[in-house]
Structure 1
Amino acid sequence: MLNPQITAAAWLRAQPPADLSDPYEILAFMRQAMEDSNEAECGPALPLPVVADVDAGGVPARLYASRVDAPVFIYVHGGGWCYGSIETVDRACRRIADRSGCAVLSVGYRLAPEHVFPAALEDVETVVSYVRKVGAELGVDPSRLAIGGDSAGGQLATVVARRQRDAATPLDLQVLIYPAIDPMTASESYDEVGSYGLDRASMKVAWETYAPDPTTRFTPDVAPLAADLAGLPPTLIITAQYDALRDEGADYADALLAAGVPVVHTRYMGVNHGFARKLAVIDDARVATDQVASYLRAALTF
């Protein structure tokens, strides 16, 4: 049964006015609606000793930390590669930093359609390189480095983790919250769960907007399941019962396990896509965020 708290989320109800017919106007409306819902859905900002906007090699980022020499968790926001921002995951990043003992560096990557593949991927990789080079100057420990993200951010995070493995600079951990994995949108969950804020049509548009060249959608840098997954870092995957991406997240967990990667996969029941950032209105958002923090603390802090 759908958690009744889901209906309190303004972002789920946000619909562009009927008089908006231009796709760019609709996109602008949806971007602003997500930003405008932030305070009501995500709650007040938790104060931390360090909250600082940084230029991470030319990519905007925000650092959250509660102590010096902390491990680093690079976080990549969701939003179909087209919307979302550092601000829309600010509260979740603060909570993770506070409870994990890790520093969190949130990435403000370039969005499509203004910047298509591989722009966002390049931005996240730039931030990883930045942390490795100047982490000590930031007061963090770049030798303990994890990556994660939600939805489109989960896709970017796991692609970067695989590319870091291929470059012989592996990351220590990855956290994928209802990740977008399959550009073909073939999972049965698209048909089963209906539209609780996300459906097949909107995901097809998102994939096509991010990767307009269809030949790229079969490559490992866009489709994570097209890659050899052996040697990827230990992984936490969170999926949601009423989410069109539910089954592809579960399939990715199974594929990682089959490749010998340690995986924890947790499915949150009664909730939909996007629930995890809505700390002020959904109880399970706080539970899921604290699960991420506990996973990071157990693996990276000592």
Structure 2
Amino acid sequence: MLHPQVEVSLAIRRRPSADVLAADPYAQLLFARAAMEESNEAECGPAIPLPVVVDVDADGVPCRLYATGVDAPVFVYVHGGGWCYGSIETFDRLCRRIADRSGCAVLSVGYRLAPEHVFPAALDDVETALAWIRKEGAGLGVDPSRLAIGGDSAGGQLATVAARRQRDAATPLDYQVLIYPAIDPMTASESYDEVGGHGLDRESMRLAWESFVPDPALRFSPDVAPLAVADLTGMPPTLLITAEYDVLRDEGADYADALLAAGVPVVHVRYAGVNHGFARKLVLFDAARAAADHIAASLRAALTF
């Protein structure tokens, strides 16, 4: 059953008019960016104060570092938003809560957005941030030898592709957290037809994929489509979260199954009654606070060694 909090959440954000929808796709993306930023306070609530919240330049990539103590393990967070919107600020409250509850430092990555910057710009920025925190982390008072990555939606896709590339470079990460990750450029799973709507549908996901990777020939390469990887063996242990009323639900579950089949330890949790995007909306969803605390607990368990 769809939770009543979903309807409340959908009423908060400004929706595009028919004129905007009839305009070119770029106008729709700009509208979505502005609407997400405008609704941030109403969706995410007040900021938890932390001892360290500092904006940093990670070799040209804007990031924000959150920490509650010294020598903490590091969780690199890659925000969602269809590769086209979202920001460090719109995920600030979630990152604060994870840092506060986990004891990990959180590095939130402000990667370049499509369609102005298409693939592989965002992935390059995530990898630059990873290299930077490995190099500079000790000087910042954190412990980059214990390093995890995570993200939601489009950020989940970027996070797991970066994790696979780190594996291939023999610099594996210790853990990954994937929150309703975007996995399938074909948008072919049954959940698109079963639960389409509730804030996300096939048309909007196709626009996102096409904006991120305009060249169709690249959309099924391993650096775009995680399930195109021939061998997932050696990927980091994974917490994968899906939502019952989310069109990305089934592809996330398929990816969890593929990781398990490759021998990767996976915990897949489906949150009932909620829709895509719930996890950052801490003031609106009971499930968001539960998910953030679950992520924090899993990071604490995985990185405390």
Query: In structure 2, how many angstroms separate the alpha carbons of the residues matched to 1:4 and 1:252?
Result: 29
CA–CA separation in structure 2 for the residues paired with 1:117 and 1:291: 31
Which amino acid in structure 1 is aligned with residue 219 of structure 2? R
Structure 1 spans left out of the alignment, 5+ residues: none
1:42 to 35, 41, 44: 44
* Cα offset, 1:24, TM superposition: 2.7
Structure 2 match to 1:279: 282
Q: Shift in Å at residue 9 of structure 1?
A: 1.4
Rounded to whole Å, the distance in 1 between the matches of 2:124 and 2:11 is 28
Correspondence 1:8 to 2:8 = yes
- The Cα of 1:34 is off from its aligned counterpart by 0.3
Q: How does 1:15-30 map to 2 (within 5 A)?
A: 15-20=15-20, 21-30=23-32
**Segments ≥4 residues shifted beyond 6 Å:** none
Contact 2:239 2:267 in 1 (8 A): yes
Query: What is the alpha-carbon root mean square deviation over aligned residues?
Result: 1.1
Between the aligned partners of 1:34 and 1:5, the Cα distance in structure 2 is 18
Give the distance between the partners of 1:217 and 1:224, measured in 2 at CA: 10
Count of aligned pairs: 302
Match of 2:301 in 1: 298
**Cα distance in 2 between the residues matched to 1:194 and 1:64:** 35
How far is 1:12 from its partner? 6.8
Matched, 1:289 2:301: no
TM-score for both structures, normalised by structure 2: 0.97
* 2:184 alignment partner in structure 1: 182
Residue pairs, 1:161-176, within 5 angstroms: 161-176=163-178
Letter in 1 for 2:267: V
Structure 2 equivalent of residue 252 of structure 1: 255
Q: 1:129 aligns with which of 128, 131, 143?
A: 131
1:244-287 alpha-carbon deviations (Å, 9 max, x no partner):
00000000000000000000000000000000000001000000
| Matching residue's letter, 1:30 | A
Write the deviation string for residues 148-184 of structure 1: whole angstroms up to 9, x where unpaired.
0000000000000000000000000000000000001
Letter of the 2:224 partner, please give it.
V
Q: Give, in angstroms, the shift of residue 26 of structure 1.
A: 2.4
The letter of the residue matching 2:274 is V
Residue from 74, 77, 80 that aligns with 1:78? 80
| SS of residue in 2 equivalent to 1:61 | strand
Gaps of 5+ in 2: none
Cα distance in 2 for residues equivalent to 1:199 and 1:85:
21
Q: Deviation of residue 218 (structure 1)? A: 1.1
Deviations 1:44-88 (A, max 9, x none): 000000000000110000000000110000000000000000011
Q: Is the 8 A contact 1:101 1:301 kept in 2?
A: no
SS of the residue aligned with 1:186? coil
For 1:4, give the aligned amino acid. Answer: P
Aligned residue in 1 for 2:33: 31
Equivalents in 2 of 1:111, 1:289: separation in Å?
Answer: 25
3-state SS of 1:90 partner: helix
User: What residue is the counterpart of 1:265 in the other structure?
Assistant: 268
- Change over 3 Å in CA distance of 1:15–1:208 after alignment to 2: same
Residue pair 2:10, 2:198 contacting (<8 A) in 1 also: no
Partner in structure 1 of residue 233 of structure 2: 230
3-state SS, counterpart of residue 137 of structure 2: helix
Quick one: distance in 1 between partners of 2:43 and 2:117?
28
Tell me if structure 2 keeps the 8 A contact 1:10–1:41.
Answer: no
Distance across 1 between alignment mates of 2:162 and 2:28: 30
Contact 2:156–2:181 (CA under 8 A) maintained in structure 1: yes
Give 2:103's match in structure 1, choosing from 101, 104, 108. 101
* Residue matched to 1:69: 71
